[in-house]
Chain A
């Protein structure tokens, strides 16, 4: 088992060990002004992701994971450091980066097929062509037969798959996902994890997942970056040396349990700090 604070730590079969990184996050620092003073959300975090690699960022609530997600996606500015894609600095939303959000984000006024075709429509692709291409991505996420349905007629898991297909349809080089299964039950989460794994393996899609779910992170990733609770720093990067292709069946293996236990050891300390901090703030607010 490989566990290392070294940001370049990699398993043998995740990504391409010799390839140049496609995404470089270099010394990112972000602070917010709050009523209680300055809050450092992300404190000099650096890592890189190689083509085809699946990297998860895990940490307790409030550790700056979503801030990092928004910075990498170009939705947040006013930060220190640099994010680059294939050597090009990210200064706003970037065509090479596709984002899947934590909240339900399908357009309720569009059918499944029209949701998925949205980025192609924006790109000016002719209607027949974009619908054909969108149909391919609808099939890819296992929603064939639901093309003409509207999001209100679908379950939460199906809607997240629509969001995923919509982002994949824009054919991003890097897929950023911010806790996309957070609102789903555990069984659906595991099954959707299978779907993500299958798609990621089929498309060799470079993927970065923000999550606070340990099982999900170990099931899906080649490497896991563990973040500290405020300020959000890199605590360590763990390489997950589990065989691919994987499915949710791996959850029952000894090696899987070992990784979960190892990462939980790191995470428990941070989560406890987060909980204590939260309790003291609530206590302070009550006294005030």
Chain B
């Protein structure tokens, strides 16, 4: 039997979320029907839902979904490993931090996707180009949030570690890293968003690969319901990654 607390804390929010989504879809359907929203720009949600079967069967959307998700996963793993390592390096080397932190922050806001011709020259018209652009564009937030988390560790926690005679490596793994974990995960999530935007954008631009290419092709055919349905799959990639990172964070740091 489901307990009352479980029902209130877990099932009610899910049901409420689904009801809100259904209400939003119904509202958009209604606004298009009465002419407030132009149906040649935004198709009926019912048409989008109806086109799912078609794009799954005719457009290989599942293969494309897996390709985009795979590229995003590769970029995310790389940026997690490299971004956290660079954040730790900057935390340990104060001079390097002073010299580079502003530049890294500046890179975070630069539209690196426009450098795709350079990446095409280096890596060719391949998935590697897409992964590398996603990785490079998403690196700064991971570095900066890791640095912020490590620097923001309360001094008293470090003093506790020192009072127990921890080695520098133990101090990192037992205190600094767990203390910084919430910030590091914020950085990784931001990085994943940046990576996915850039990956889908480059797929769109170079007409290669997964969902970005599909969105491009459907838009060129003026298949609006199909285009929006493909975009729903891009959102699905994002949702899957968010759920995975949330679970990973809870596993590594329960509170």
Verify if B160 is at the interface (C-beta below 8 Å from A): yes
B132-166, CB < 8 A from A: 154, 156-157, 159-160, 162-166
Known A-B contacts A93-B165, A122-B166, A122-B170; A107 and B157 likewise in contact (beta carbons under 8 Å): yes
Task: Kindly provide the distance from the CB of B254 to the nearest chain A CB, expressed in whole angstroms.
Answer: 7
B157 surroundings in chain A (CB, below 8 A):
105, 107
In the complex, given contacts A105-B160, A122-B164, what are 5 additional A-B residue pairs having Cβ atoms less than 8 angstroms apart?
A97-B163, A101-B159, A104-B156, A107-B178, A122-B165
| Distance of A79 from chain B, by nearest CB (Å) | 16
**Chain B residues within 8 Å of A, Cβ to Cβ:** 154, 156-157, 159-160, 162-166, 170, 174-175, 178-179, 181, 253-255
* Bound complex: CA A122 to CA B159 (Å): 15
Taking CB atoms, residues of chain B closer than 8 Å to A93 are: 162-165
Considering only residues 151-207 of chain A, those with a C-beta below 8 Å from chain B are 152, 170
Chain A residues 117-154 with CB under 8 Å of chain B are 118-119, 122, 150, 152
The total of chain A residues at the interface (CB under 8 A) is 23
Residue of chain B at shortest CB distance from A111: B254
Q: Which of A73, A94, A104, A122 neighbours the largest number of chain B CB atoms within 10 Å of its CB? A: A122
When the two chains form their complex, are residues B163 and A122 in contact, meaning their CB atoms are under 8 A apart? Answer: no
Residue among A94, A103, A104, A109 with the highest chain B CB neighbour number at 10 A: A109
Contacts of A275 in B (CB 8 A): none
**B174 in contact with A101 (CB, 8 Å):** no
Q: A95 to B162: give the CA distance in the assembly, Å.
A: 11
User: 7 A–B contact pairs at CB < 8 A?
Assistant: A73-B163, A75-B159, A105-B157, A105-B159, A107-B175, A109-B179, A150-B254
A97 to B165, CA, bound (A): 10
Interchain CB contact under 8 A, B170 and A150? no
The 5 closest A-B pairs by CB, nearest first: A99-B163, A103-B156, A150-B255, A105-B156, A109-B253
Q: What residues on A are CB-neighbors of B179 within 8 Å? A: 107, 109
Beta-carbon contact of B164 and A118 below 8 Å: yes
Please state if A109 and B181 are interface contacts (CB–CB under 8 Å): yes
A74 to B253 Cα, complex, angstroms = 31
A64: B residues at CB distance < 8 A: none
B255 contacts across to A, CB distance below 8 A: 108-109, 150, 152
- Nearest B-chain residue to A176, judged by Cβ: B163
A108 to B174, CA, bound (A): 12
Report if A52 contacts B (CB, 8 A): no
Residue A98 CB within 8 A of the other chain: yes
Q: How many whole Å from B125's CB to the nearest CB in chain A?
A: 45
CB of B69, distance to nearest CB on chain A (Å): 30
Give bound CA distance, A75 to B161, whole Å: 11
Please tell me if the beta carbons of A95 and B154 are within 8 angstroms of each other in the complex: no
Cβ of B171 to closest chain A Cβ, rounded Å: 10
In the complex the two chains form, is B165's CB within 8 Å of A103's CB?
no
Assembly CA distance A108 to B163 (angstroms): 18
Q: Which residue of B lies closest to A110 (CB)?
A: B178
Q: What distance in Å separates the Cβ of A229 from its nearest Cβ neighbour in chain B? A: 25
**Are A109 and B163 touching (Cβ within 8 A)?**
no
Q: In the complex, what residue of chain B is closest to A153 when comparing beta carbons?
A: B255
